[in-house]
Structure 1
Amino acid sequence: MRLTVGMDQSDIRKVRDFANWLFKIGEGKLGGPNDGEMIIDIPDDILINDSHDPIGSLIDFVYPLILENFSNTNYFQERAILAPKNEVVQEINDRLLNKFPGDEVEYLSSDSICESEFVHDQYDSNLYSPDVLNSLKVSGLPNHKLVLKIGVLVMLLRNIDQENALCNGTRLQVLSLGKRVIEVRIITGTNIGNWTFILGMSLTPSEKKIPLKFTRR
């Protein structure tokens, strides 16, 4: 999907200029000759000047008047925050969650070692205790504790049903929170506006940095 769909010429020009600026940074064409380090001027219109609470300022900039618009699907389709680290993602998620009205619902995963890991060898149950497994934060898996409210956004981390556009990266808005199922509305992709249900499922991380295989349900 092109980002310029529905934009006027002024907005398209701004997007194009910003994209060109990013390309020049990536190609090392800004800041003059350098040996791997350079000073780059950041345009004022994308610069966060609040040194006391930069994340709060970013949230307020991207999601202005969120309480008045959290039930408006179009409002969230046009906005997103990208973060470089999972820790930053978690902080942004927590602070956005606090802005939504209603009660929090907490979901905890059940983590276990894959039996195939130790077919011939015994393993130390203390080394791989449930607390240790629960503490693992792995790319492609939700954290052990997931806290949600009605109205918040979630993103799929796996392909569930490609035919119905439930794929990795699909953004959804929570409509209701049950004990074992979450009702959501699709807000990106080809089936925008459709309702569906997300059930509990068992996932095994594919990241090779982890020294063992475990399952998170």
Structure 2
Amino acid sequence: MGDIDDVDINPRIPDDVMIPSSDNPIASIVTAIYSSITDNMKDPIFFTPKNSIVDLINEYMLSLIDDEEKVYLSYDSPENDNADPAHGLCNGTRLIVTKMRQFIIEGKIILGSNIGDVFIPRLSLTPSDVRIPFKFQRRQFPIIVSFAMTINKS
């Protein structure tokens, strides 16, 4: 049971665990977490899951990368076959992209039982929404860029 003045408690947080306040809090978070990103871009241990503001962090991180942007378009077609998540390419697989080609992405799986080189083709995805009155497939690369993720995806 607490005392009557519990509302007025101001705990002391050590300075070494605080991120300094600034006009750009996302930049402050990224600098504190990824202070040497360019030196560690290929080190799988360097990138670790963080918190619920991952979209803002990812947007800021992408703005720091001065490289050619690639857009991969999907296309829809009639349903004819199913995707097979062989070799560990399934939801939640963590990998580092090593080469982006027109029809395939090369990468290295960094965690789990399938660690090593992998080729990622476009996969056929079929919506399961029963409200759609017809079946179709979308072929696209099944990846998302992520420098941070929620604890549910870690």
TM score, norm. by length of structure 1:
0.46
- TM-align CA RMSD: 3.7
The verdict on how the C-alpha distance between 1:75 and 1:49 changes in structure 2, with shifts beyond 3 A counting, is closer
2:110 aligned with 1:202, yes or no? no
**Alpha-carbon deviations, 1:90-132, whole Å to 9, x = none?**
x4323222333432211122246x78xxxxxxxxxxxxxxxxx
Secondary structure of the structure 2 residue equivalent to 1:107: coil
1:98 — aligned with what?
A: 63
- Structure 2 contact 106–118 (Cα < 8 Å) conserved: yes
User: C-alpha separation between the residues in 2 aligned to 1:43 and 1:57?
Assistant: 18
User: C-alpha separation between the residues in 1 aligned to 2:138 and 2:12?
Assistant: 42
**Alpha-carbon deviations, 1:133-172, whole Å to 9, x = none?**
xxxxxxxxxxxxxxxxxxxxxxxxx9722xx333310111
Q: Which has the higher contact order (CA 8 A, sep 6+)?
A: 2
**Alpha-carbon deviations, 1:51-101, whole Å to 9, x = none?**
63222222222222101111223323xx123436xxx52x43232223334
Moved over 4 A (4+): 40-49
For 1:160, the aligned partner's letter is: P
Stretches of structure 2 that go unaligned for 5 or more consecutive residues are 3-9, 140-154
User: C-alpha separation between the residues in 2 aligned to 1:66 and 1:190?
Assistant: 26
The verdict on how the C-alpha distance between 1:66 and 1:203 changes in structure 2, with shifts beyond 3 A counting, is same
User: C-alpha separation between the residues in 1 aligned to 2:42 and 2:23?
Assistant: 30
Counterparts of 1:178-189 in structure 2 under 5 Å?
178-189=101-112
1:61 — aligned with what?
A: 32
Counterparts of 1:116-127 in structure 2 under 5 Å?
none
The percentage of counterpart residues that share the same residue type is 38
2:81 aligned with 1:81, yes or no? no
The verdict on how the C-alpha distance between 1:41 and 1:205 changes in structure 2, with shifts beyond 3 A counting, is farther
The verdict on how the C-alpha distance between 1:214 and 1:47 changes in structure 2, with shifts beyond 3 A counting, is farther
The structure with the greater share of residues assigned to helix is 1
